Structure 1
Amino acid sequence: MSSKVLSPRGNPARSADRLEQGRASHASLSTSSSVEVLDLPRGDPPPVLGLPPSLLSGALYCCSSLSMVLLNKAALSSFRWTSPNALLFFQCAFCVAAVKLCEALGLVRPLEPLRSGLVRAWLPVNALFVAMIGTSFWALAALNVAMVTVLKNLTNAFVLAGDWYFFKRTFGLNIYGCMALMTASAVCGAATDLAFSARGYAWQVLNCAVTAAYSLTLRGAMDRAEKLTISGTRLDQHSMVYLNNALSLPFLAVLMMASGEATRVWREPDLANPAFLAVAALSGVLGFAISFTSLWFMSTTTATVYSLVGSLNKVPLALLGLALFNAPWSAPNLLSILVGLGAGAFFGLAKK
């Protein structure tokens, strides 16, 4: 697959699209999305298991991403686990090992090696990546899945503001209308949230800001990295997954030491709990699966359909999150959540 990325530089939808490709580069750890959609070559691929590839890849992508969020929520709130940074470290390490195994088996193209020049060029954006997945985890631990899903829409507002401020881009009234609706939904959802957590909301708003910063700086990092790769071409998606997760390990190790998790994690009672170990292991597998299903789905459909499916997938995610974790809710709160999810879906269409 080619990784010849990217919409034309003058296209105002380009930065909004960055919020989609990130599902492949970091969805193993969070629910956010943040990078440009790959413009992969599309033809008429043969059916797989008798199904159109776009249908099968889309279904697998939706199932894996939805399951990933619910499993992370279960790991963070349904057990006695108190070392979220250690869990993130495990997921990153698992993803690195899995990508390297696929490379060894010839399932993916050779990965870009971690050379010093490339590492130095990528470290700033990787620091934002770690902040993004960390704040996402900490927000998910304190808020219910539905509110996290709705509040993540605010990332689009930060991205559009950054595009306007730094790149002088402007957008149509339909974009601003969708953003106003998503913002109003988030505010109303917070006002009617029966389990309101100021700490959780603070983490989530910070996550939106950091995710937008990651999105806005990623293009520049990719341009710099292109000059430092062995092939002289852009990093492909698998190399980005490998690079992001491998470089995250030192940052997460420092966070573990600073928070005392490096020594405390070995005394966690849940390390002897088979149910928790199964959830943690499955979350690693699913996170890795998202990297491939999202790339496969992007290669068989258009950026608009990819974005719309990602937005619509949030509806069952929010409802399942309310039901499975017994989150308290009211009719006004549920209505604001549904309005926000609908606005997110319309935004996926309006930005095109």
Structure 2
Amino acid sequence: MDDKKNEDFNIKMPEFNSGRSSPSSKEPFLARSPRHNSAGPPAMSSITNSPPISILAYCLASISMTVTNKYCVSGANWNLNFFYLAIQSLVCIIAIIICKQVGMITNLAPFDAKKAKTWFPISLLLVGMIYTSTKALQFLSVPVYTIFKNLTIIVIAYGEVLWFGGSVTASALFSFGLMVLSSVVAAWADIQHALYGSAAKSVEAAEAISTLNAGYMWMGMNVFCTAAYVLSMRKVIKKMNFKDWDTMFYNNLLTIPVLFLCSFIFENWSSKNIALNFPEESRNKLISGFIYSGLATIFISYCSAWCIRVTSSTTYSMVGALNKLPIAVSGLIFFAAPVTFGSVSAIIIGFVSGIVYAWAKVRQSQMNKMSLPTSQPVMSASSQSNRDASSS
């Protein structure tokens, strides 16, 4: 699920260096070198400030998180997504408190009500992101879900152009075209399999198409919710002076009451529905999945914030695109997603689009380093106001 609960979820946002005058000055991909001091030993500092290591950790975390989320919401009668996400956050908070008490976490700041109030709107965006993510994952296969997540990169990239004065190169535009193509091919393959992949072609086909349509609707909502969360977080994070653990702690803590409240209001808590959602034959496995997903949230949350802190929000999204291949393969292995020419082609195109995008960002970074500034760069109004605010 990107984000707090998945690749793209997940309770994740950056800690920007206070020495930078504008978020728009952050270089994409791996070109950025850490500039902040670390109180830890040199070896540990080199790890915590290493973009490649942070990206690898994020990829491993997102794969395990996506597989776990898909398993937990794949029940035939499952309809308690808000409750599932609330349990994730609750388990995560309990684990964080325990780790702090035993001394494993030493840099978690005390709870600040004023900061919580400022951060609360970001938490609401996070709720929208993770809920639409689980709903999309519930109706779509893992490969199709991961392919469509590529579209988030496009929305975030153009959001950065509007908000932070960024730019989109011709190579990046080409990669965006491949991302859209992979999504179209994936949808086409899914629809073809639903219509002609089974012997029964009437009731079952109509039901399968209805499920896909619901999945595409939730996926579209998730793309825009994720972009809104990432971009809004980037605008707010500088004012908060949050460390990685602070980001994760406030994201989980503030979403708990919202998620439980939404569950009690919008979800069916009758004994019959509870029995349908937690069938006796798989109840223990499902509860174990809940607990594991909550603990895994710590890993994905920290790695997400870590990755964005030492790279950028666009790089974070791009890495998610590159990570789609192993995630998609895991869906084929663990959940028996249909393997067709169209589905495999969509996965390959989506993976290639991520590589092209990565190459485009590295090339742009290298060209920026080689060129000398001859004039004051043109900035968007929002980027200029952000710079003025940070320098005042």
Question: 1:251 — aligned with what?
Answer: 258
Question: 1:239 — aligned with what?
Answer: 246
Give identity over the alignment, percent: 27
Structure 2: unaligned runs, 5 residues or longer: 1-13, 45-49, 195-208, 363-392
211-220 vs 261-270, greater mean Cα deviation: 261-270
Question: 1:27 — aligned with what?
Answer: none
1:177 Cα deviation from its structure 2 partner: 1.3
CA distance in 2, matches of 1:340, 1:138: 22
Question: 2:43 — aligned with what?
Answer: 45
Alignment deviations for residues 227-248 of structure 1 (CA, whole Å, 9 cap, x no partner): xxxxxxx110101101011110
Aligned partner (choices 225, 233, 236) of residue 221 of structure 1: 236
- Give the alignment of 1:92-131 within 5 angstroms: 92-131=89-128
* Larger Rg over CA atoms: 2
The answer on 1:142 being equivalent to 2:176 is no
Question: 2:153 — aligned with what?
Answer: 156
Aligned partner (choices 257, 270, 285) of residue 278 of structure 2: 270
Q: TM-score, normalised on structure 1?
A: 0.77
Query: Do the aligned partners of residues 262 and 251 (structure 1) sit closer, same or farther apart at CA in structure 2, a change above 3 Å counting?
Result: farther
CA distance in 1, matches of 2:17, 2:178: 30
Question: 2:129 — aligned with what?
Answer: 132
Do the aligned partners of 2:171 and 2:356 also contact (CA within 8 Å) in 1?
A: no
CA distance in 2, matches of 1:38, 1:69: 30
CA distance in 2, matches of 1:268, 1:83: 11
Do the aligned partners of 1:132 and 1:211 also contact (CA within 8 Å) in 2?
A: yes
CA distance in 1, matches of 2:61, 2:269: 30
CA distance in 2, matches of 1:55, 1:164: 25
Query: Do the aligned partners of residues 198 and 92 (structure 1) sit closer, same or farther apart at CA in structure 2, a change above 3 Å counting?
Result: same
Query: Do the aligned partners of residues 327 and 67 (structure 1) sit closer, same or farther apart at CA in structure 2, a change above 3 Å counting?
Result: same
Aligned partner (choices 298, 321, 330) of residue 320 of structure 1: 330
Do the aligned partners of 1:12 and 1:170 also contact (CA within 8 Å) in 2?
A: no
Do the aligned partners of 1:151 and 1:186 also contact (CA within 8 Å) in 2?
A: yes
CA distance in 1, matches of 2:22, 2:341: 43
242-251 vs 117-126, greater mean Cα deviation: 117-126
Query: Do the aligned partners of residues 178 and 57 (structure 1) sit closer, same or farther apart at CA in structure 2, a change above 3 Å counting?
Result: closer
Structure 1: unaligned runs, 5 residues or longer: 21-35, 47-52, 227-233
Alignment deviations for residues 6-42 of structure 1 (CA, whole Å, 9 cap, x no partner): 876364766x77xx9xxxxxxxxxxxxxxx9987668
CA distance in 2, matches of 1:124, 1:88: 18
Do the aligned partners of 2:148 and 2:183 also contact (CA within 8 Å) in 1?
A: yes
Query: Do the aligned partners of residues 158 and 323 (structure 1) sit closer, same or farther apart at CA in structure 2, a change above 3 Å counting?
Result: same
1:151 Cα deviation from its structure 2 partner: 0.6
* Structure 1 residue matching 2:278: 3-state secondary structure: helix
CA distance in 2, matches of 1:8, 1:241: 25
* Larger relative contact order, structure 1 or 2 (CA cutoff 8 Å, min sep 6): 2
Give the aligned CA root-mean-square deviation in angstroms.
3.6
Alignment deviations for residues 148-168 of structure 1 (CA, whole Å, 9 cap, x no partner): 111111111111222233444
Query: Do the aligned partners of residues 5 and 12 (structure 1) sit closer, same or farther apart at CA in structure 2, a change above 3 Å counting?
Result: closer
